[in-house]
Chain A
């Protein structure tokens, strides 16, 4: 802690304290104003969080200032903390995933008759925990790293990156603890209530400005493709978030709000958001990650710059039209559905172009893919990215969607993307990044990376196959007819038929979770080993030389 604070100038420490003071006042106001409402409890969460951090800052307040030589180095402390947070959220989010999967297989598993422990409240803890907690932290941490390296510029100051990272995690904690208390807007992937939404806007604007300020200082004339994707991620998520979360709170003292739009307009806005949260959070952001760590690890140039261009603009343009494929055959007017379907089909081309660009980059490095589990993570991620986008475009076709919608097929598709693509590319990148950040040759145990790889791959395959099976069976049972032309199965028949698949899914998830735990231990051991080694050494960072290369990077 003290070491982290000592990386900031005294002025920055003062700013940090002022911000934390302001935050704790906000928390206090929420706690006081929200008495009798869950808002009050949220206020306490904010208060404890900011006071706790203020103590940490004060503990390091009198540490010596960093000297000017820091400006010749990259600023990686926030990335390091971001990595640790990513790993923690991964384990927590996936453990909750395994738990809710088990609840669907064995509903009586709920150990207490308490609201917070029920499926409906835990499910968003899982989805937000993995998407925003795990995915979001991974994106922030890697974006800071990639941005500096590809711009050959240090982050503009030492306070803003902390504000972004810590502020973002405050958002995640407020969101997750809120779900347990029953605070939710019910809009999928946008569940947090109005005050958390507003806070995220502030954090996000700062994040965006940080990006621009660093880019403005870049020593590379061209902006690298990874940054195009990170920028699209930051910008478009901001637009989506603001529009979809427009709402009127019941009062300043109520956590509850009513969204501005209703019915069909609300549905379209929600899925314009929801689909593009997938596009710009789970796709664009992670493509940015892939475009840096994959070529870096493979030691190969990007297969085609021109392909990068058309896939980037294709994705950015087409995705935004596709949201209505979540609303096929509903009360949404059919013309919007046709647009959603046709653009989803066209979207496949740029999606495969970027997957192909990644895989073709590995040409000349396939022997490394065979030997290096880290690169293999990234390769498999690109394959699953191709697979889930193909599946997505297929499911976006109206007649196909008439079968898949509302079923576990969607859940299977989600996790092909989430486990196979998002989590795999993240783990691969983390394994590359951690040794660079903590200045070691390799991870503590390359063997454990290998173990993790196979656990992750097996878990993904079990999960996805279980859900494909259950989803298609479910969809077919709902529409199977007797010879006499009447429905052959009741809904309850389909519930019973899902049982074995729900068990299989929970098992697959458990494999995947074990892999994440293995990763967490490996990261932990690596950091500890690095600290031991450093204690023996000089204690300084390796300075950036003119070429801005870091040892082993």
Chain B
């Protein structure tokens, strides 16, 4: 049975078996297959000798190089930090004014700051730091807590209403929900507040503004000030400018006064080294106001 036939195309003999018409040739394995197999095996052997490879029940072979991925990356990260220290020590040592006066250093800082900002902060403040509903526009310079670099740094480090023990705390009271004001009074004060920044009054607002002024004087000046220009000690925003954290339409402002607000800014001191926080501060401080 095992007698092969000769294949006319290749001249090779078949194995003599046939499965529903399929035959196989007795072609010897091409030498290159062994060559490659040998080469691959040698490569593997080298890996096995040099690197940790074989399990030995309670431990494993460590390899001649004593290589360990964790040690390697730790070294690389440390080395990289050391390489950067040419300029990072300057950032740490110099004052904000000094750094900002040094264009070359500022270039490095903003380059780094951009990536850091987008990876850590853009989720809330946006890629261009222009914020969004509930998240302040950092390019607008309408600071809640103050725009001095030291103040910004402090805000980033401890956060606002964050889980940090030293956090800045700010709270817009829930005048409606907590029963301090009646709905009518709230509607009045909303009309008044909206008029402060020159917004077009909504229907029926004109009549409310006067009453609202009184409500404001009785309830709001403690935080937002007599002139409604805000108070940086408690993070109360300026209500006379065009910047609105939570929106300027009647519904939004009404909700603000009715239910209160308490924005949450995480504390980055626990997650970023002081250098990164300083870089971010410089980056935020350097932002130019974007045309609306």
Contacts and interface: CB of A to CB of B under 8 A. Distances in A.
A–B contact, 8 Å CB criterion (strictly below)? yes
Interface of A: 149-150, 152, 220-222, 224-225, 292, 295-296, 300-308, 310, 314, 329, 333-339, 341-343, 345-346, 348-349, 352-353, 356, 360, 363-364, 482-493, 548-549, 553
Given A150-B20, A549-B21, A338 B52 contact: yes
A45 to B, nearest CB: 39
A301 B14 contact: yes
Contacts of A296: 20-22
Contacts of B7: 301
B61 interface: yes
B41 A486 contact: no
29 contacts: A149-B20, A150-B19, A220-B19, A221-B17, A225-B24, A295-B22, A301-B14, A301-B22, A302-B22, A304-B24, A304-B25, A305-B26, A308-B24, A310-B29, A314-B37, A334-B69, A335-B55, A336-B55, A338-B53, A339-B53, A345-B43, A360-B27, A363-B9, A485-B83, A485-B84, A486-B84, A490-B115, A492-B118, A553-B21
Interface of B: 1, 7, 9-10, 14-15, 17, 19-30, 33, 36-37, 40-41, 43-44, 47-48, 51-55, 60-61, 63, 67-69, 80, 83-84, 87, 108, 111-112, 114-119, 122, 127
B20 to A, nearest CB: 4
B52 A484 contact: no
Nearest to A347: B40
Contacts of B60: 333, 335
A338 B7 CA distance: 45
Contact of A349 (B9, B33, B114, B119): B33
B15 A345 contact: no
B262 to A, nearest CB: 27
Contacts of A353: 29, 33
A335 B108 CA distance: 40
A484 B14 CA distance: 67
B37 A349 contact: yes
Instruction: Pick the most buried of B19, B30, B43: most chain A CB atoms within 10 A of its CB.
Output: B19
Contacts of B114: 490
A486 B115 contact: yes
B24 A342 contact: no
A224 B9 contact: no
B68 A334 contact: yes
B40 A346 contact: yes
A549 B20 CA distance: 6
B29 A307 contact: yes
A305 B28 CA distance: 8
A107 B219 CA distance: 46
Contacts of B14: 301
Nearest to B5: A301
Instruction: Pick the most buried of A314, A341, A484: most chain B CB atoms within 10 A of its CB.
Output: A484
A405 to B, nearest CB: 14
B25 A490 contact: no
A548 B24 CA distance: 19
Nearest to B41: A346
A424 B160 CA distance: 59
A149 B87 contact: no
Contact of A484 (B37, B53, B87): B87
A438 B271 CA distance: 68
A221 B15 CA distance: 13
